[in-house]
Amino acid sequence: MGHRQILAELVGHARAVGGPAIVVTFDPHPRKILFPAEAPRRLCHLHERLALIGACGVDAVFLLRFTRKLAAMEPEAFIAMLHRRFAFRHFHAGYDFAFGRRRCGHIDALRAIGERMGFTVSAADAFEMRGAIVSSSRIRSAVEAADLDLAAELLGRRFSISGHVGVGDKRGRRLGFPTANLDLRDLVHPPAGIYAVRGFSGEARWGGAAYLGYRPTFAGRTLVLESHFFDVSPDLYRRRLRVEFVRRVREDRVFRDGASLVRQIERDCAAARAILLAEEG
């Protein structure tokens, strides 16, 4: 919601003065380059982030590749580079915007630079919800704690994971519950367990139950997201799929044999159906 507020204010200002609303964003995350061990997991893949920004009504998105060379730029040199590229008349930023080498440039410095270069500056107020500022780190914490309702409030939408469906080992199909499998690499995700979910691909939408975890019953070592959709068996291989998390059904656990697992999957699917029906009703 905080980023949506900033973008809404940017678009509003651009429309008021008759100019384009242009967003500048980085990839990869600066910490991925400067402090790889501390880099946060992504809230979504780059293509989804760009689509979400575009859906806010901006006219263009400029994707700036973050490098050590870029990180070493002095604050004024960085802003001058952007100003040469876009010749902007106004710069709108978040309340905690920092830029330049070691993040030493802040809003007051940006205003001083603007006076010299001929552009004005505004900053969005901090956006609070439930008594605390909305931030990416707070959203990550909510997702990782399986507080999906809080995550949805902070995001302004249900938390979801998207990607191209890959090939699994077809164990779910052999058990009678075919699944669509997504790669979770570098993505923030809820704890291992079973979730009531919705799947979206193109114009299609399905309710379902998803397993997220390492499959301890089968001595698995790779984190997987396997989604089973109710009453359909769509061929989703290599298609783009978005899985929206609604609620956690239960935690992950080990089963003594396949028959025990199948009985539990049946109960999980019934519980997930009930959750989805209750939310839609």
Query: What digits encode the pLDDT tens for the residues 254-271?
Result: 998 889 999 999 999 999
The verdict on 27 and 88 lying in the same domain is yes
The partner residues of 205 in beta bridges, in order of sequence, read: 200
Q: How many CA atoms lie within 13 A of 239 on its CB side?
A: 14
The pLDDT mean for the chain works out to 93
Dist CA 265 CA 194 (whole Å): 9
The verdict on 7 and 121 lying in the same domain is yes
pLDDT tens-digit series, residues 113-151: 999 999 999 999 999 999 999 999 999 999 999 999 999
Question: Which residue is associated with the tokens 């919601």?
Answer: 1
Single residue among 73, 105, 126 that ends a domain in this structure: 126
Residue 260 lies in a domain: yes
Look up the CATH number of the domain holding residue 48: 3.40.50.620
Task: Provide the number of structural domains found in the chain.
Answer: 2
Look up the CATH number of the domain holding residue 210: 2.40.30.30
Residue 140 lies in a domain: no
Distances (CA, A) of 13 to 22, 117, 199: 11, 19, 36
Share of the chain above pLDDT 90, in %: 83
Residue 28: asked if its preceding bond is cis (omega within 30°), the reply is yes
Residues 6+ apart with CB under 8 A from 181: 165, 166, 167, 168, 224, 225, 226, 227
The verdict on 207 and 251 lying in the same domain is yes
* 240 pLDDT above the threshold of 70: yes
Q: What is the CA radius of gyration of the chain?
A: 22
The verdict on 78 and 171 lying in the same domain is no
The verdict on 62 and 16 lying in the same domain is yes
Residue type, 37: A
pLDDT tens-digit series, residues 178-234: 999 998 988 999 999 999 999 999 999 999 999 999 988 777 788 999 999 998 888
Give the domain extent around 223: 159-280
**2 confidence band (pLDDT: 50, 70, 90):** confident
Could you tell me the sign of the dihedral formed by the alpha carbons of 205, 48, 161, 159, in that order? negative
The verdict on 171 and 90 lying in the same domain is no
Nearest to 29 by CA among 58, 80, 62, 67: 67
261 φ/ψ angles, rounded to the nearest 5 degrees: -65, -45
The verdict on 112 and 14 lying in the same domain is yes
**1 confidence band (pLDDT: 50, 70, 90):** low
Residue 231 lies in a domain: yes
CB 107 within 8 A of CB 123: yes
Dist CA 191 CA 196 (whole Å): 14
The token duo for 224 is 């997987």
The partner residues of 244 in beta bridges, in order of sequence, read: 160, 198
Single residue among 126, 148, 167 that ends a domain in this structure: 126
